[in-house]
Amino acid sequence: MKQKLISFSLNRSLMIAMVALLAMGACKSKKKAAQPEPEPAPVERVEETPAPAEAPEPTAEEVAVEKLESSFNSLTSASSPALANQSIEQTLAMFSNQDTPVLIVIHEENGIKDYDEPTTIRKYLEYLKDTKKNLNFISDIRLDANGKVSELELRRK
């Protein structure tokens, strides 16, 4: 009889515990449903400036400068004299003639520029081929009516 009483009370206890758990679970879900949701924090609206539709077209001078800088770099990194000579001929095609002046600014003060000895584009390209160093960058470029370079001004990097 004692065993029956123990098993009966154990079954009864388990049943009461299960009912209590279900009741507690149901209360929590009802409580959550009854509470209003907190209002979201106010969000500041930042007006975005519209992005430009397209970047402006580069000018003829800017395109020429990019091509020349690329040509100068490929000339200094040429693996053989034949490739360097080919690069020189391709670069000379961008100039009005092979005697186009190249001025290298060595100093500037109060708007007055001091230039290194003037040279021609052919001589400058040969110099780049021999030294394999491009120590200058293009600071000014002038194009003729045909879009070819008629004068080039360089500065030390």
Token pair recorded at residue 103: 């001025």
CATH number of 60-156: 3.10.450
Q: At what angle do helices 81-92 and 121-131 cross, to 10 degrees?
A: 150
50 and 127 in contact (C-beta within 8 Å)? no
Mean pLDDT by 10 residues, the chain (157 residues): 56 72 59 61 64 76 94 94 95 95 93 92 96 94 94 92
Domain locations in the chain?
60-156
pTM of the model: 0.64
